[in-house]
């Protein structure tokens, strides 16, 4: 009898106080860093978003990023959501892998042939944007930016 009572009390306690791990799309967009990409030329492929906390490797060395999100566009939009991010200074490099081959296509000079962008819509001069131009300060719980890919 005591064991049944213990199980019943434990079940009630867990159902009331345990965190809900199942989240809807709307819930996920309410916490963390959200990069909203609008006006994609096509809904094909994937949008890659790489989160950096230092200028080392930004934006061309994704292996230096502290997090990567890959998102299938919905229509001609995509939201990259970085969750569980600590307060700090960050920059995000984004690109649309239109042909879904897992690599950024470039011409013979190394200029991207697929749409690219960065946080703050920072642009580079004669090369990719600088970390300092794309960087932003993040303080939880939420930061949203709309980014254009060109």
Domains of the chain (ranges; CATH) run 26-147 (2.60.40)
More confident: 19 or 110: 110
3-state secondary structure string across 18-49: CCCCCCCHHHHCCCEEEEEECCCCCCCCEEEE
Q: Is the pLDDT of residue 24 over 50?
A: no
More confident: 21 or 58: 58
Q: Is the pLDDT of residue 149 over 70?
A: yes
Average pLDDT score over residue span 109-125:
96
pTM of the full structure:
0.80
Average pLDDT score over residue span 119-142:
97
- Return the pLDDT at 3: 41
Kindly list the strands in the beta sheet with 32-37, ordered across the sheet, starting from the edge strand earlier in the chain: 78-82, 32-37, 142-147
User: 10 Å Cβ neighbour count for 98?
Assistant: 19
Examine residue 124 and say whether the peptide bond preceding it is cis (omega within 30 degrees of 0): no
- Return the pLDDT at 91: 98
Q: Which residue carries 């970085």 as its tokens?
A: 82
Q: Is the pLDDT of residue 57 over 80?
A: yes
- Return the pLDDT at 30: 64
**Average pLDDT of every residue of the chain:** 85
- Return the pLDDT at 31: 77
Q: What is the pLDDT of residues 94-108, one digit of tens each?
A: 999 999 999 999 999
The beta strand positions in the chain, using DSSP E, are 32-37, 46-52, 67-71, 78-82, 88-97, 116-118, 136-138, 142-147
- Return the pLDDT at 1: 45
């Amino acid at each position: 009898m005591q064991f049944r009572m213990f199980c019943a009390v434990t079940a009630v306690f867990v159902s009331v106080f345990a965190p809900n791990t199942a989240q809807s799309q709307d819930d996920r967009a309410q916490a963390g860093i959200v990069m909203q990409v609008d006006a994609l030329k096509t809904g094909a492929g994937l949008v890659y978003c790489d989160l950096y906390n230092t200028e080392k490797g930004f934006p061309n060395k994704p292996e230096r990023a502290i997090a990567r999100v890959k998102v299938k566009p919905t229509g001609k939009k995509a939201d990259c959501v970085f969750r569980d991010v600590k307060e700090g200074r960050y920059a995000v490099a984004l690109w649309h892998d239109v042909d879904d081959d897992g690599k950024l296509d470039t011409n013979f000079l190394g200029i991207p042939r697929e749409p690219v962008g960065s946080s703050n819509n920072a642009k580079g001069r004669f090369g990719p944007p600088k970390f300092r131009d794309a960087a932003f300060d993040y303080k939880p719980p939420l930061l949203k930016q709309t980014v254009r890919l060109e």
